[in-house]
Structure 1
């Protein structure tokens, strides 16, 4: 059976509050990790993000199922929860959120994932990125259509405009893995908000992962880059790292 370790870091950056949220739920058979980045014109982005995380983890804890249809169903449930909260009158704005989730079947040794918006998941194998999600954003669409290069994703003035987000009363666009992916000892997942990946290029993620003595140090090294590069009013930034092993017992580390 696969063993997993969890590490996470979340900071408010230059904002007055942290509107990111993350969490996880694990058992001997299946595990779920999720990260959400909330937004709202009157400060209710933190409510949206926390509602996304709570809904996903609560639903997962009742099913403990880690299939492709489960990833899609959990994201749809999160969208319904945010839409319902908006309709209750308890919030004063059109709050919404991005989200990414990772599901691991520990007995089967496989993983699936899904996302909405520009919160990402990366899979590192042998120190290199072998998979990363594609953002649901205007700039990503421009790049896919051939109107620019991948560098635009971090520099374009409209890089924050999303084409899909949780909290829409209409059908949302969500993406899930095409199939369950077999896992190997040494695999590393990184789930992170745009406030994180915008300031750390994928090549730098790989380089720092090789240099670091472990996942906790790796997150710390990336945080150092963010603090050095980000402007004074920079966005919240959150990263959750999951390492896969066939030897190490479960452990969770919070980096302050």
Structure 2
């Protein structure tokens, strides 16, 4: 069941619990608008969480204040919309990409937002998911923070994220460079993130990413809080 706020609301954060046919379950939808912006259609950046943290993990990272500060500094207003997606790869009765492609536009329209996202942002597994989603034509930018990328099937298999090699090949961003390179790519990965630093560098080189930041930090919330404002600024620059 969709939950819709009053049309005049200016609340910066709205949460809903929607039934997803693609995921065969109810999912959290967290809509984050800049504080003080009227409730009217504005561009949307879809945010994909890392691991099993869920859509609300972006609230724990402080994204609402970061977004409001960015707009107060002069950036054009946009909303960030986070949804629950599991590991973003999906299994038998769980298709998060179907949810994003077929269901999310209706949810955005219901909440008086532009129903075609202009950008994607993701962390960890969500970073890889955002890069995968970016293969769909129409968006301008994708920001990936500590993305879980695998350049060989044995490495991917050890992660336990994929059903089989075919699924990995279909959804692995490093296997679809040409499609991803059609948009602006921003990459952030901590130099202490030994598991994914190498593949993040590889993706940055192959896509000629206009922003590729590799600074001290690990695969953890402390690093993500540090770089998230820059990732928001990056996608906001493509409005």
- Calculate the TM-score normalised by the size of structure 1: 0.27
Of Structure 1 and Structure 2, the greater helix share is in 2
- Give the number of the structure with larger relative contact order, counting CA–CA contacts within 8 Å between residues 6 or more apart: 1
Of Structure 1 and Structure 2, the greater strand share is in 1
